Chains A and B, each alone.
Chain A
């Protein structure tokens, strides 16, 4: 057992931290205030190989591992949680293509996606199928040599800017979970359109939209994986995705924590720095411990994924604990900043808003508990 990141993983942390500080952080407040999708960040991340970290070079990836990927999301999210989730949601499209795609599909899609020339999205949630994801109402029917999709998806991250969408649809309702199949839909496919864009409380720069399929015809070879195995594709994708969101959450928590450390050291009340007050010291000590514990859960889940071991339970534990830690830490950090923390003058309120969604997307905390309970009971 080795609790140190290896040399390459450490270099990834160093590189992404420097990148995030110089290129991402200066615009984070503006991206949030204007609800602006930071296209330029995606282009820059792409240039440095950040859009395909845990994939082999054969397909245009960086040749890295999932721990490095988690470290990168964490560091990006310290500077800007919006930028972190753009990269994480993109990976929800690239990973299943790499894992379940035919060689032809891999060769066709991965080079552009992993080099960041194209952006990916993952479409499972529907207005009536959220936590109960198996109740898919989007239908796909085979018509000659084409699949015809009808239905709608909602809360799709990267929706307005993605080029390739992994879409789950019901191909045989009578079979329940086993009647769901996954498909690759491209921007511009006939009958496919982007619906309304949601205005959110946090991660304001990320694009979250509805998708609408109205007699959307796609070639037969756009089916990803086997017929009726779409639910498995989605669930295994989310196992890895949860590591990414956990990393995003802990990036937010660490940033809020670090900024609060500086604040408590410099802010004086009653003639001494706040950092000297035991009530605050104890709270900070607890939060530091929670952050450390969450990081260990994340790296453990990522390590199991890198080793090809099952990681469903571990990823859910990491996501549950990291997201709830992020919410707790950011809420406390706003409190410790007092009135200043509640103003837009300090970035700490943004982190509290950004943290909330990590308890919701890619499976709510309640879903994580269902997954963990299923594994332990």
Chain B
């Protein structure tokens, strides 16, 4: 039993260190500190955990972005990934999630066949959570999103995964090949290993659009249907109030008083 696992990873601005332009209110991306998207680190850890447990498993990492994202891929290799590919081409700039998922799908098909594709649930910069599911859609394979527990079933062909809901969780048995998007609750990512940092020939390729098998007409700004009208944080729901007295009678009395106070009864 061996697995070929692919992890999609993205380099994002380091929100703890990035500065906000006081005039425009937008992130100052130019020259800003960057890091691996946190959820993607959990996806990589999940892949490496399978590699630890199942001999001959290979873990590949795929990213799309500026050349600077090579640094993040070196980190992935130092954590234990076997191969990394960066698709980097000016023609792909300003791609939205729809165009990005197209590029990633083309590139991963060039990289080979995979039993399992792991993505972070959301990127910390865009927070859309769309790219992973879109890749699964384009490949026509099953997907489960926001996974916070997973295990490989003994048959080596299915995964048993858990995804949370507001009031509980759902267990899903899914057949490979499949795609999962994982949340930060899944695991604790390992550190890089120092001997791997000093690996003499890290297996990192940089592909342009053509090498990735991408039709440039279908990527980049002109192929991105998304139009951002506005972005805002969702309104916070009202927080509940806990009422507790020393006895049940007292609690009931306090509740009654509170309801009267707000003229509910």
Contact = CB atoms under 8 A, between A and B. Distances in A.
| A: contact size bracket | 10 to 19
22 contacts: A7-B71, A7-B74, A8-B197, A11-B75, A11-B78, A11-B192, A12-B194, A14-B75, A15-B191, A15-B197, A48-B192, A48-B193, A49-B193, A49-B195, A49-B196, A50-B194, A57-B198, A62-B195, A63-B195, A63-B199, A63-B200, A64-B194
A14 B72 CA distance: 12
A33 interface: no
B78 A15 contact: yes
A72 B192 CA distance: 13
Contacts of A293: none
A50 B198 CA distance: 12
A11 B195 contact: no
A53 B194 contact: yes
Closest 9 CB pairs of A and B: A49-B194, A63-B198, A15-B192, A62-B194, A62-B195, A49-B195, A11-B197, A64-B198, A19-B191
Contacts of A19: 191
Interface of B: 71, 74-75, 78, 191-200
Contacts of A14: 75, 192
A48 B74 contact: no
A18 B191 contact: yes
Nearest to A11: B197
Contacts of A61: 195
A50 B194 CA distance: 7
B198 A8 contact: yes
A306 B37 CA distance: 34
Nearest to B198: A63
B71 A15 contact: no
Contacts of A11: 74-75, 78, 192, 197
A64 B195 CA distance: 7
Contacts of B198: 8, 57, 62-64, 68
A359 B13 CA distance: 41
Interface of A: 7-8, 11-12, 14-15, 18-19, 48-50, 53, 57, 61-64, 68, 72
Contacts of B194: 12, 15, 48-50, 53, 62, 64, 68, 72
Nearest to A69: B194
Nearest to A56: B198
A91 to B, nearest CB: 14
A50 B78 CA distance: 14
A49 B191 CA distance: 11
Contacts of A49: 193-196
Contacts of A48: 191-194
Contacts of B191: 15, 18-19, 48
Nearest to A15: B192
B197 to A, nearest CB: 5
A333 B101 CA distance: 52
Given A11-B197, A57-B195, 17 more contacts: A11-B74, A11-B75, A11-B78, A12-B194, A15-B191, A18-B191, A19-B191, A48-B191, A48-B192, A48-B194, A49-B195, A61-B195, A63-B195, A63-B200, A64-B197, A64-B198, A68-B194
Contacts of B193: 48-49
A168 B83 CA distance: 48
B77 to A, nearest CB: 10
Nearest to A44: B191
